[in-house]
Amino acid sequence: MAQNLLNADHLAYMGKSTLEPQRTNNFTVIFTLPASVNGDPVLLQQAMDAFPIPKESNNPIVIKYGNEERKVAGVAEWDSIEFKIKDFIDKPIITLIMSWFDKVYDARTGIIGYTHQYKTQGTVFAFGPDGQHSRTFLLKGLWPVKVNPGEGSMADNTNNIVTVTMRADKCVEQI
Protein backbone atom coordinates (compact mmCIF):
# COMPACT_ATOMS: atom_id res chain seq x y z
CA MET A 1 0.00 0.00 0.00
CA ALA A 2 1.34 3.46 -0.88
CA GLN A 3 2.25 5.80 1.95
CA ASN A 4 -0.06 8.79 2.40
CA LEU A 5 2.19 11.85 2.17
CA LEU A 6 -0.68 14.25 2.88
CA ASN A 7 -0.51 13.64 6.61
CA ALA A 8 2.35 13.44 9.11
CA ASP A 9 2.09 9.73 9.96
CA HIS A 10 5.67 9.18 8.79
CA LEU A 11 7.08 11.69 11.33
CA ALA A 12 7.90 10.38 14.82
CA TYR A 13 5.24 7.71 14.47
CA MET A 14 4.88 4.59 16.58
CA GLY A 15 6.13 2.29 13.83
CA LYS A 16 9.74 1.14 13.48
CA SER A 17 10.61 3.42 10.57
CA THR A 18 10.20 6.90 12.04
CA LEU A 19 11.88 10.23 11.58
CA GLU A 20 12.91 11.04 15.14
CA PRO A 21 14.04 14.68 15.44
CA GLN A 22 17.46 15.62 16.77
CA ARG A 23 16.58 17.81 19.73
CA THR A 24 18.67 20.94 20.16
CA ASN A 25 18.95 20.41 23.92
CA ASN A 26 20.31 16.86 23.64
CA PHE A 27 24.02 17.63 23.44
CA THR A 28 27.14 17.97 25.49
CA VAL A 29 30.62 19.21 24.73
CA ILE A 30 33.78 17.92 26.35
CA PHE A 31 36.96 19.99 26.31
CA THR A 32 40.43 18.54 26.73
CA LEU A 33 42.15 21.49 28.38
CA PRO A 34 45.76 22.19 27.43
CA ALA A 35 48.25 20.89 30.00
CA SER A 36 49.24 24.48 30.83
CA VAL A 37 45.68 25.35 32.01
CA ASN A 38 44.71 24.46 35.56
CA GLY A 39 41.09 23.58 36.15
CA ASP A 40 38.41 20.97 35.74
CA PRO A 41 37.03 20.80 32.19
CA VAL A 42 33.90 19.10 33.56
CA LEU A 43 32.87 22.53 34.93
CA LEU A 44 32.63 23.85 31.35
CA GLN A 45 30.67 20.79 30.28
CA GLN A 46 28.19 21.16 33.15
CA ALA A 47 27.79 24.93 32.67
CA MET A 48 27.33 24.84 28.87
CA ASP A 49 24.22 26.74 27.79
CA ALA A 50 24.36 26.85 23.97
CA PHE A 51 26.62 26.76 20.93
CA PRO A 52 26.35 26.17 17.18
CA ILE A 53 27.88 23.26 15.34
CA PRO A 54 30.69 24.93 13.34
CA LYS A 55 29.83 25.91 9.79
CA GLU A 56 32.20 24.64 7.13
CA SER A 57 32.82 26.31 3.79
CA ASN A 58 35.11 25.88 0.84
CA ASN A 59 36.34 28.99 -0.92
CA PRO A 60 36.61 28.22 -4.63
CA ILE A 61 39.63 28.92 -6.78
CA VAL A 62 38.64 30.73 -9.98
CA ILE A 63 40.47 29.74 -13.17
CA LYS A 64 40.03 32.29 -15.93
CA TYR A 65 40.49 31.41 -19.57
CA GLY A 66 39.53 33.73 -22.38
CA ASN A 67 36.06 35.08 -21.68
CA GLU A 68 35.10 32.28 -19.32
CA GLU A 69 35.95 30.99 -15.90
CA ARG A 70 35.75 27.73 -14.03
CA LYS A 71 35.65 27.18 -10.30
CA VAL A 72 37.35 24.37 -8.41
CA ALA A 73 37.57 23.52 -4.73
CA GLY A 74 39.89 25.72 -2.71
CA VAL A 75 40.73 26.05 0.96
CA ALA A 76 38.30 24.67 3.53
CA GLU A 77 37.59 26.78 6.58
CA TRP A 78 35.35 26.74 9.64
CA ASP A 79 33.56 29.69 11.20
CA SER A 80 34.18 30.86 14.75
CA ILE A 81 32.13 29.12 17.43
CA GLU A 82 30.36 31.10 20.16
CA PHE A 83 30.04 29.02 23.29
CA LYS A 84 27.48 30.37 25.78
CA ILE A 85 28.41 29.25 29.30
CA LYS A 86 26.34 29.79 32.43
CA ASP A 87 28.27 31.65 35.13
CA PHE A 88 28.09 30.31 38.69
CA ILE A 89 29.30 32.36 41.65
CA ASP A 90 30.41 29.31 43.66
CA LYS A 91 32.38 27.63 40.84
CA PRO A 92 35.49 29.06 39.15
CA ILE A 93 33.94 29.17 35.64
CA ILE A 94 35.26 32.62 34.67
CA THR A 95 38.63 31.91 36.33
CA LEU A 96 39.02 28.73 34.28
CA ILE A 97 38.06 30.50 31.04
CA MET A 98 40.40 33.44 31.70
CA SER A 99 43.23 31.08 32.68
CA TRP A 100 42.88 29.44 29.26
CA PHE A 101 42.55 32.79 27.48
CA ASP A 102 45.69 34.09 29.25
CA LYS A 103 47.66 31.31 27.51
CA VAL A 104 46.70 32.91 24.18
CA TYR A 105 47.62 36.43 25.29
CA ASP A 106 48.51 37.47 28.81
CA ALA A 107 47.52 41.13 29.24
CA ARG A 108 49.60 41.43 32.43
CA THR A 109 52.87 40.56 30.67
CA GLY A 110 52.09 41.19 26.99
CA ILE A 111 53.22 37.65 26.14
CA ILE A 112 51.55 35.58 23.45
CA GLY A 113 51.68 31.86 24.14
CA TYR A 114 52.91 29.00 21.99
CA THR A 115 50.16 27.03 20.25
CA HIS A 116 50.85 23.93 22.35
CA GLN A 117 50.00 26.04 25.42
CA TYR A 118 46.51 27.07 24.28
CA LYS A 119 45.29 24.88 21.40
CA THR A 120 43.39 21.74 22.29
CA GLN A 121 40.48 19.69 21.09
CA GLY A 122 36.86 19.38 22.03
CA THR A 123 34.23 16.77 21.30
CA VAL A 124 30.57 17.53 20.69
CA PHE A 125 28.11 14.74 21.38
CA ALA A 126 24.55 15.13 20.07
CA PHE A 127 22.37 12.30 21.32
CA GLY A 128 18.87 10.92 21.02
CA PRO A 129 16.10 10.97 23.65
CA ASP A 130 17.35 7.64 25.06
CA GLY A 131 20.84 9.08 25.68
CA GLN A 132 22.55 7.12 22.92
CA HIS A 133 25.01 9.15 20.83
CA SER A 134 23.76 9.81 17.36
CA ARG A 135 26.42 12.28 16.20
CA THR A 136 29.93 13.10 17.30
CA PHE A 137 31.96 16.08 16.10
CA LEU A 138 35.66 16.43 16.86
CA LEU A 139 36.89 20.05 17.14
CA LYS A 140 40.62 20.03 16.37
CA GLY A 141 42.96 22.92 17.14
CA LEU A 142 40.38 24.64 19.38
CA TRP A 143 41.32 27.85 21.19
CA PRO A 144 39.60 30.94 22.65
CA VAL A 145 39.89 34.16 20.64
CA LYS A 146 37.41 36.36 22.52
CA VAL A 147 35.83 36.36 25.99
CA ASN A 148 32.74 38.33 26.98
CA PRO A 149 32.22 37.86 30.74
CA GLY A 150 28.57 38.93 30.54
CA GLU A 151 26.78 41.97 31.86
CA GLY A 152 24.92 43.30 34.84
CA SER A 153 21.35 44.51 34.47
CA MET A 154 18.91 45.79 37.09
CA ALA A 155 16.06 45.03 34.64
CA ASP A 156 16.72 41.27 34.47
CA ASN A 157 16.70 38.41 36.92
CA THR A 158 18.54 35.78 34.87
CA ASN A 159 21.71 33.71 35.04
CA ASN A 160 24.77 35.57 33.75
CA ILE A 161 26.05 34.06 30.49
CA VAL A 162 29.74 34.13 29.58
CA THR A 163 30.32 34.08 25.82
CA VAL A 164 33.58 32.52 24.64
CA THR A 165 34.32 32.80 20.93
CA MET A 166 36.63 30.02 19.79
CA ARG A 167 38.32 29.02 16.57
CA ALA A 168 38.89 25.47 15.46
CA ASP A 169 41.32 24.46 12.76
CA LYS A 170 38.95 21.70 11.76
CA CYS A 171 35.61 20.19 12.71
CA VAL A 172 35.21 16.55 11.72
CA GLU A 173 32.05 14.52 12.10
CA GLN A 174 32.95 11.06 13.37
CA ILE A 175 31.11 8.47 11.31
Which of 63-74 are b and which e, b meaning 16 or more Cβ less than 10 Å from the residue's Cβ? eeeeeeeeeeee
- pLDDT at residue number 14: 65
Assigned CATH topology for domain 27-174: Pnp Oxidase; Chain A (2.30.110)
Domain coordinates of the chain in residue numbers?
27-174
pTM of the predicted model as reported, rounded to 2 decimal places: 0.82
- pLDDT at residue number 2: 59
Cross-strand bridge partners of residue 46? none
- pLDDT at residue number 73: 96
Residues with Cβ within 8 Å of 133's Cβ and at least 6 positions away in sequence, in order, are 125, 126, 127
pLDDT, block means (10 residues), the chain with 175 residues:
66 67 87 89 90 90 97 94 92 92 96 96 90 88 96 90 95 87
